[in-house]
Chains A and B, each alone.
Chain A
Amino acid sequence: MTKINDAARQVGRIILGKERQIRLALACLIARGHLLIEDVPGVGKTTLAHALAASLGLAFQRIQFTSDLLPADVLGVAVYSADTAQFKFHPGPIFSQVVLADEVNRATPKAQSALLEAMEEHQVTIEGETRKLPEPFFVIATQNPSRQIGTFPLPESQLDRFLMRIELGYPDATAERALLRGDDRRDLLHQLKPCMQPAELMALQREAQQVHTSEALLDYVQALVNHTRNSAGFSSGLSPRAALALVHAARAWALLDARSHAVPEDVQAVLPGVVSHRLPAPGDGANSGAAARLLAAVAIP
């Protein structure tokens, strides 16, 4: 417990003024979910992914998605080896514990789906052979706002695969000043020491599953979900998978607070991250308003 908080603090020294987002990212990781970071370039998305992986002692790979990226570039490829006269599989960058899929919406749907299937199954099948991905397996995808030129927006079904979507946002003035004054972030990244072992992280993941969600809490979750389904303010409701995601994320958040039981505050804390990418906005554009509206509309039973 203290170790994960150490990790959070350590990441916080690199990404300044974003404690909440870091915590959400950790909660997402502990809940075995994948994280989608959506924001304009240059706010530290990649750095965050880096710092998380380094602090948790996880192997890290980065895939820059471009419009000409092919699935093999993600998954890996079998190459004929003249020495052994056999095809030898060269694992792609997906075979890593933390995979940063940078600017995932710049790639074509074909490449995107290669990634997303791996996320769902925690395994990839290449040339008839199924290969397991390492554990823990955590994808952090970044996405440019869809209004930017040259993007292939992820379809809703694929957005659903991400447990959370967060926005980093611009740093506030003090944080930015510290950033400007301080050392180069890249140097700092290399100095990071792992705060915990992957096995410990997996233990935490198991522990999060044991966090108690009482009937009263589930009542609240269902009330929230039902509201999106029945209220006129939402064009389509949240799926059962979304509800499940909410519960998992709330458990992880409670665990980060060192509690053995989830409370409504946990649900409220994770709700914007969990639901905003699953609630299609009536118009275009960012949807964080929907989560706030939802929270304001549903009483805690």
Chain B
Amino acid sequence: MTKSATAVPAAAISLRNTVWITVTLALIAAPHAERLPLWLTGLAAAFCGWRLYIARMRLGLPSRWLMVGIVGAGALAILLQYRTLFGRDAGVALLVLMISLKLMETRTQRDGMVLAFIGYFLVITNFFYSQSIPTALYLLACVWLITATMMGLQYRRPPADTRSQLRTAAVMLVQCVPLMLAFFVLFPRVQGPLWGMPSDAFAGTTGMSDTMSPGTLNKLVYSEDVAFRATFTGGVPPQNRLYWRGPVLMDFDGRTWSTTPRAVRNQIEHDRRASPVRYTVTVEPHNRRWLFALDMPGLIPPRANLTIDQQLLSQTPITSRLRYDMESYLDYSVGAAGNPAPARMLALPRGFNPQTRELGLQLREQHGGDNEAIMSAALNLLREQKFVYTLEPPLLGAHAVDDFLFRTRAGFCEHFASAFVVLMRSAGVPSRVVTGYLGGEYNTLGEYLIVRQSDAHAWAEVWLPNRGWVRVDPTNSVSPARAEGGLAAALPEGAVLPRGLLPATPLFHQLQLTLDSLANAWNQTVLGYNFETQRALLTRAGLDDTSWRNLAIILIAATGVITLLIALITLRSRTGNRDYALEAYRQFCEKAARAGIARRETEGPLDFAKRLAAARPAQASAIDAITQRYVALRYKKYNKNKYLKQLRMHVRQLAL
């Protein structure tokens, strides 16, 4: 901002506008506070406070050199914190830092304008983290505020008053709605994952992982986050059959189960008896590749594969909400067809869990080579030995399975699944761990099933020579209630329940379900409006060519038409001489007419006021106030802006 000697000095930003812009920016950045490092949040807040203090006390702004120093230090701190200056988190941090610093060199109205424009950009950054309805509403309010701030920056003398500022901004936003809709519907969508989303955008998402060690799943249980939602075309199968198949784990190192997905076979390996269950899954982004389907999947969604372990894998990590149609055969039988690669399914690390291995060998000796008999014996063992299902299992030592089976005898589904598979493998029965979700809550309002992270579950699969892979849920033998009634029912009485499982009041629970059904509708229609749905919609509207070019042309045309229409309507209402005073006065007359004292058309306002006041002496002062302002507005040469507001207020408040 170099100023030549002849340049008119730019108008300094007023205290009022400084407060507006500072508060608005702070509100926009507020949701970032929980994600930014504490020092940065504090720093930004301090700058806001400092700027307001300067404006209030009419002090000078800090020197440029100080600012340069802070910029350098701040950028360095961010670099140290995030190890980069790019990507979503570091980028947002940098933006917040820079905006708060820009605030410190905001001298003129023009600077304020620049900040307001950056404010709009700051609004967008919030959508990197959340696109839920509350976020959208909050940011809409922020957009309203920032627009109102700009209105304030437009007016210098006399300063705008808050009500009209907010009002004009609201009117402008409402006028923008048709344009927004046109852009939403017509703006060319990018095929594939969310375009331009920084690569670290999905770090820290809760969800299934491809490893399982004691404690992995019961951490998930505390999360109320939605894993996915499913809409069934027929009826919903009973709870205890809703085994949502996720990562299949087969490698064990003594403590942790892990996997590398095995070969893609893209072959449905079970025979398709009975009729399949048909449903549509909308999975929340989890940044992994697996897709969830009920045991056993009978269909491979587009751009996904089926591994030899009958696990569905997307070709790319799921970084945006994905919707796919599925069908599953609940009464499946894999048969002997799927060769399990027995060696890998029998492997156990050396030197771990000697007692369990001993027990396995014993079982094998007792039952010969009969895998099925070994399996039932093991399940009986679990059932008879009074195992306890708990969310807070005791700590386990190096021989985790031994400790669990022979000492603590208390655990969560992952303990049961893990111990059971280790025992099976010790007895020479090929087996593996399957993780996923069990059950879900049916939302009658939206008629869909919500599966939350707290529904996470682990079970086992055992290879039987004549039947192939068979699902065995050891947790079920210990606590049948888990499969029937969910986690809350399975836990012993008096157990500390996770927050999400606390028995909610029916009303509150209903509210939760209503909100989730709203969120689901929002996800499906607004957020789920992607390349495919756009093309489907436009094709249905009779537009066959949905190329970029075509859409751009239509969008430009639509923008032109909408702008023209809005302009026409606005101009018309302006030239149409809308007399707001008269409108308010007519309301007043209607009120009086309802009270039995109708104004004659030929009766002047003063005469009418006299007559009305005589009939309603208690309201005489209000009637007088209304009449005076109306007469002033309509017949006086000069008027005060507040008269109309006062007139409306008095008319509104008048009770005859």
Partner of B606, one of A212, A265, A295: A265
Asked if A146 lies at the interface with its beta carbon under 8 angstroms from chain B, I say no
Taken residue by residue from 60 to 90, chain A's Cβ proximity to chain B (1 for < 8 Å, 0 otherwise) reads as 0000000000000000000000000000000
Residues of B within 8 Å of A216, CB to CB, are 579, 582, 634-635
Asked if A299 lies at the interface with its beta carbon under 8 angstroms from chain B, I say yes
Across the interface, do B637 and A214 meet the contact criterion of CB distance under 8 Å?
A: yes
Q: Report the minimal beta-carbon distance from B208 to chain A, rounded to whole angstroms.
A: 73
Q: Report the minimal beta-carbon distance from B409 to chain A, rounded to whole angstroms.
A: 91
Which partner residue on chain B sits nearest A254 by CB separation?
A: B635
Partner of B635, one of A217, A268, A298: A217
Q: If the complex has contacts A212-B635, A214-B637, A216-B635, are A263 and B602 also in contact, measured as CB distance less than 8 A? A: no
Asked if B493 lies at the interface with its beta carbon under 8 angstroms from chain A, I say no
Asked if B34 lies at the interface with its beta carbon under 8 angstroms from chain A, I say no
Q: Report the minimal beta-carbon distance from A189 to chain B, rounded to whole angstroms.
A: 35
Residues of B within 8 Å of A212, CB to CB, are 635-637
Across the interface, do A263 and B637 meet the contact criterion of CB distance under 8 Å?
A: no
A1 to B634, CA, bound (A): 24
Across the interface, do B604 and A261 meet the contact criterion of CB distance under 8 Å?
A: no
Across the interface, do B635 and A261 meet the contact criterion of CB distance under 8 Å?
A: yes
Residues of B within 8 Å of A265, CB to CB, are 604-607
Taken residue by residue from 631 to 648, chain B's Cβ proximity to chain A (1 for < 8 Å, 0 otherwise) reads as 110111100000000000
A283 to B586, CA, bound (A): 40
Considering only residues 256-301 of chain A, those with a C-beta below 8 Å from chain B are: 260-265, 268, 295-300
Partner of A299, one of B602, B605, B607: B602
Asked if B384 lies at the interface with its beta carbon under 8 angstroms from chain A, I say no
Across the interface, do B635 and A262 meet the contact criterion of CB distance under 8 Å?
A: yes
Asked if B603 lies at the interface with its beta carbon under 8 angstroms from chain A, I say yes
Partner of A214, one of B601, B602, B605, B634: B634
Which partner residue on chain A sits nearest B603 by CB separation?
A: A300
Which partner residue on chain B sits nearest A299 by CB separation?
A: B601
Across the interface, do A300 and B637 meet the contact criterion of CB distance under 8 Å?
A: no
Count of chain B residues with a beta carbon within 8 Å of a chain A beta carbon: 15
Q: Give the number of A-B contacts (CB < 8 Å).
A: 43
Across the interface, do B636 and A300 meet the contact criterion of CB distance under 8 Å?
A: no
Taken residue by residue from 606 to 619, chain B's Cβ proximity to chain A (1 for < 8 Å, 0 otherwise) reads as 11000000000000
Taken residue by residue from 593 to 606, chain B's Cβ proximity to chain A (1 for < 8 Å, 0 otherwise) reads as 00000000111111
A35 to B632, CA, bound (A): 31
Which partner residue on chain A sits nearest B637 by CB separation?
A: A212
Which partner residue on chain A sits nearest B606 by CB separation?
A: A265
Considering only residues 198-250 of chain A, those with a C-beta below 8 Å from chain B are: 212, 214, 216-217
A262 to B634, CA, bound (A): 10
A264 to B605, CA, bound (A): 8
Across the interface, do B601 and A300 meet the contact criterion of CB distance under 8 Å?
A: yes
Taken residue by residue from 565 to 582, chain B's Cβ proximity to chain A (1 for < 8 Å, 0 otherwise) reads as 000000000000001001
A295 to B600, CA, bound (A): 11
Across the interface, do B635 and A214 meet the contact criterion of CB distance under 8 Å?
A: yes
Across the interface, do A261 and B636 meet the contact criterion of CB distance under 8 Å?
A: yes
Which partner residue on chain A sits nearest B581 by CB separation?
A: A216
Residues of A within 8 Å of B606, CB to CB, are 263, 265
Across the interface, do A264 and B604 meet the contact criterion of CB distance under 8 Å?
A: yes
Residues of A within 8 Å of B635, CB to CB, are 212, 214, 216-217, 261-263
Q: Report the minimal beta-carbon distance from B170 to chain A, rounded to whole angstroms.
A: 29
Partner of B602, one of A217, A260, A261, A300: A300
A204 to B334, CA, bound (A): 110
Taken residue by residue from 10 to 53, chain A's Cβ proximity to chain B (1 for < 8 Å, 0 otherwise) reads as 00000000000000000000000000000000000000000000
Residues of A within 8 Å of B579, CB to CB, are 216
Residues of A within 8 Å of B604, CB to CB, are 263-265, 268, 300
Residues of A within 8 Å of B637, CB to CB, are 212, 214, 260-261
A216 to B606, CA, bound (A): 15
Residues of A within 8 Å of B605, CB to CB, are 263-265
Q: Jot down 18 A-B pairs with beta carbons below 8 A, ordered by A.
A: A212-B635, A212-B636, A212-B637, A214-B635, A214-B636, A216-B579, A216-B634, A217-B635, A260-B636, A260-B637, A261-B637, A262-B635, A263-B606, A263-B631, A264-B604, A265-B606, A298-B602, A300-B604
Q: Which residues of B contact A (CB under 8 A)?
A: 579, 582, 601-607, 631-632, 634-637
Q: Which residues of A contact B (CB under 8 A)?
A: 212, 214, 216-217, 260-265, 268, 295-300
- 3 closest Cβ pairs, A-B complex: A299-B601, A212-B637, A265-B604
